[in-house]
Structure 1
């Protein structure tokens, strides 16, 4: 049994306070979005070089996007990368730690043999990625029409810097999809064969914070951004610690082709296949009792009833869309299932029970309507 938390985790009152404490300046590169950084700076100028991700394309990160960024920073000799943003920003920034001579394909191929040459600090601005505490970077590979992950120790940040105030202007849709993503992180890692008492401790705490927060929203009958986002941010980081040790599984594996082909936000793609994937686990006899005990405690009901309670609650937070509504049909479901088997074995190894290509196709088909 093994368990680790690699980055230092620190909480700051504000971005300004972080910059002052870390003496951000010459030799630093902030990687972010303009709509994220500008409101925080106001009339002030950034104290160091800034790279805006949207200059290189919209949506989630791709191999083409990162290659263009690597080309632009070549020879700049930055000593520290400061990632301020969601999963796209963080996953890109992790790949900027190495020698400028590598492209993305080479980074993925050489992986564990590469030497990190820059310090990395991550400030998450959503409550879902968990990537601030993992050694994983996920990119869309355009030619493969799927997402793939690189997981090597060199991708761990040196510090995960949490600034809860930065989530106060998060659009509701981003909050909903990212927090659901964090919940899936916690649940998949909880039933992973790699789960330990330590990873489950973080996973359980994350599930409690997220689902209790959702219940409070439902009680108030308002699907809107909670006034206090600190619990959701901390829950996301806790879920990141959990899945960073025990892994994510089939929900994420099935979501990747959806995101790559239809450009659906990652958390939304997870939500589309979440219930159907866990239903398939149950049909095949997977032991889900560890997570059922947690859900039953949270919802104060039987284990079986807790599933309905949870998925009804998720539909309150974000109504689940069908795969059919975005254009998936049975032929595409079959093609995506083949892609999952070919490209996502890293994730499928963490399933609580093995899924065949046919069973994956059935999951997709059940989500079409």
Structure 2
């Protein structure tokens, strides 16, 4: 038996930020990052808040938020006697706020505080998921947290917040969306609901990511990608993810490569591994994952007369999309040299197999499988 619940109320489209003006007499704990403060984008929040509210601004967020920052935030949240948490920023700000909320409840016996998530990038889907990723900077390890207690009550998706995102971040985060959707679709926990969400997200990415990359002021493309990120988040919140994220969490931290970019480099190789793709194999050799990938290819209008052809078409379409976005396709292009790969590869393989996302991968990997994927990523 599967249980599905969509907890967050969604406020979507241009003008969605106006929802904030409806809150009154709250002690608002606002989690954001230094860029939001320095750029003045945080004023999109302040300009909409009623004068009856009090605010505490926690802006110490950095990419891949470390445990120490989360701990600091928990103490500040408690001391302020918070009524409402608002997280505005990329995945790091929202993930940090989710972890703060969770630890405040579990460790300090705080009440369940209402939580609003406002993403300023179109990638993580964190505003509708029960996942958060925090880091141990000393060990270069990312820790995925999973708890429905972290789910926001509301999410505000306003395309005005993402139109100034640089093109390379648009590319990285957009490929993260695609990876979320594809992994959710082939997950061992996939069902009809997650399939529908994942399929729609994939179609939106292929249709609108190149447009958003080319012209950040294209608000139609920005809105569609913002929606795609949220939809893919719903999909993987139901079905979970797979080996792609299992490796990316560890390798991204070790090599200091942006999460979405690492996912994009991995994606063709993980698809071929899961499909057990071998040149010359026939229709009768296709496994469940290969058939599912072929279904994706068909839904995107790609050639897929059989599973083998569908897998090949999907991989080629992903590589073509990467080229359109001027993205690196190998670790070498990201500045990883052979010596660093040799030093890190075993610990990455071990960490990937322990990662919670890997548990729902459609094909059970071994350490040797991960090592082979890493070798292919290096100079494919």
Q: TM-score range by the shorter chain?
A: 0.7 to 0.9
Given that 1:191 and 1:352 are in contact with CA atoms closer than 8 Å, whether structure 2 keeps it comes out as: yes
Q: TM-score under structure 2 normalisation? A: 0.84
1:155 is displaced (CA, Å) by 0.8
Paired position in structure 1 for 2:5 = 4
1:18-37 aligned within 5 A: 18-23=19-24, 26-36=26-36
Shift in CA distance, 116/350, structure 1 to aligned 2, threshold 3 Å: farther
User: Which residue pairs with 1:111 in the alignment?
Assistant: none
Match of 2:18? 17
Q: Deviations over 1:95-149 (max 9, x none)?
A: 22257597xxx69xxxxxx765311010111111111111111111234422111
Match status 1:283 vs 2:287: no
1:133 equivalenced with 2:128 (yes/no): yes
Aligned: 1:231 with 2:224: yes
Change (3 A) 1:27 1:258: same
- TM-score (ref. length: structure 1): 0.86
Alpha-carbon distance between aligned partners in 2 of 1:244 and 1:291, rounded to the nearest angstrom: 20
In structure 2, runs of 5+ residues without a counterpart are 278-286, 305-309
Shift >6 Å, 4+ stretches: 42-46
Any conservation in 2 of the 1:127–1:232 contact (CA below 8 Å)?
yes
Return the alpha-carbon distance in structure 2 between the equivalents of residues 155 and 42 of structure 1: 24
Q: Determine the C-alpha separation between the residues in 2 that align with 1:233 and 1:2.
A: 26
Q: Give 3-state SS (helix, strand or coil) of 2:289's partner.
A: coil
User: Which structure 2 residues correspond to residues 204-353 of structure 1 after superposition, within 5 A?
Assistant: 204-214=199-209, 223-225=214-216, 227-228=218-219, 229-283=222-276, 285=287, 287-302=289-304, 303=310, 304-324=312-332, 325-327=335-337, 328-341=340-353, 343-344=354-355, 346-353=356-363
> What is the CA–CA distance in structure 2 between the aligned matches of 1:52 and 1:78, rounded to whole Å?
12
1:360 maps to 370
Kept after mapping to 2: 8 A contact 1:85/1:124: yes
CA RMSD, Structure 1 to Structure 2 (Å): 2.6
With over 3 angstroms needed to count, the CA separation of the structure-2 counterparts of 1:282 and 1:116, relative to structure 1, is farther
Please report how far the alpha carbon of residue 181 of structure 1 lies from its aligned counterpart in structure 2 after TM superposition: 0.4
Cα pair distance change 1:240/1:198, threshold 3 Å:
same
> Unpaired segments of 5 or more residues in structure 1?
108-113
CA distance in 2, matches of 1:198, 1:43: 34
Q: Determine the structure 1 residue equivalent to 2:114.
A: 119
* In 2, Cα distance between equivalents of 1:209 and 1:12: 15
Superposed displacement of residue 307, structure 1? 2.2
Contact preservation (8 Å) 1:286, 1:353: no
For residues 234 and 162 of structure 1, the distance between their equivalents in structure 2, rounded to whole angstroms, comes to: 7
